[in-house]
């Protein structure tokens, strides 16, 4: 939510001017509206290392079970 310090109030993103200024006092207001998508995409792109450890462990386990399963056929 855009926040205006001088007016001490929140503004609806649709209420601020196109330049991102407070409609009452004209102060540029904080518009964190553009930040969440960036953070979201950054969070999506950066995968924690333990995710790959888990994927690798699961892959090794499934490969081992597949080898066992094939071994039972003969
Ligand atoms: Zn204001």
Q: What is the pTM of this model?
A: 0.38
Three-state DSSP class for residue 63: helix
Taking only the tens place, the pLDDT of each residue in 20-63 is: 899 899 988 876 555 555 556 555 678 889 999 999 999 999 99
Q: Separation of 33 CA from ligand 1 center, angstroms?
A: 17
Distance of alpha carbon 17 from the chain centroid: 27
Residue 6 CB neighbour total at 10 angstroms: 11
Q: Separation of 50 CA from ligand 1 center, angstroms?
A: 46
The predicted pLDDT at position 31 comes to: 62
Q: Separation of 64 CA from ligand 1 center, angstroms?
A: 64
C-alpha angle 6-10-14 in degrees, rounded to nearest 5? 115
């Amino acid at each position: 939510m855009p926040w205006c310090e001088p007016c001490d109030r929140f503004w609806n993103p649709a209420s601020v001017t196109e330049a991102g200024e407070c409609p009452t006092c004209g102060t540029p207001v904080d518009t964190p509206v553009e930040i969440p998508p960036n953070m979201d995409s950054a969070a999506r792109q950066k995968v924690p290392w333990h995710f790959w450890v888990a994927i690798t462990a699961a892959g090794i386990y499934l490969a081992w079970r597949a080898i066992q399963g094939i071994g039972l056929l003969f």
